Amino acid sequence: MKIASLVLRALPADFPEIKQALARIPGVEIHGSTDESGRIVVTVEDGDGWSVTDSILAVNLAPKVQAVTLAYEYTDDGLELTEA
């Protein structure tokens, strides 16, 4: 499992177009936005047929997105359960 949280910057007038584009990207979920600061908060999760990396790149290349900040990233790859 891999998951990332992103903060996007954009003009509030462009939010509807951006949100439509984000809805088409696999693994992306919109959690909120604020017109006052021009930010949209999303998470990206991996799944069958796509990776977090590919989806983050697609978010970054979405029309009208001015900047993307990676706020949080988690992966459980390489973690093994061990008994005490």
Own/partner contacts of 10-16, CB < 8 Å, gap of 24 or more, are 10/38, 10/40, 10/64, 10/65, 10/66, 11/38, 11/64, 11/66, 12/38, 14/64, 15/40
As a CATH number, domain 2-75 is 3.30.70.920
Q: Report pTM.
A: 0.87
Tens of pLDDT along 22-76?
Answer: 999 999 999 999 999 999 999 999 999 999 999 999 999 999 999 999 999 999 8
pLDDT band for position 77 (cuts 50, 70, 90): confident
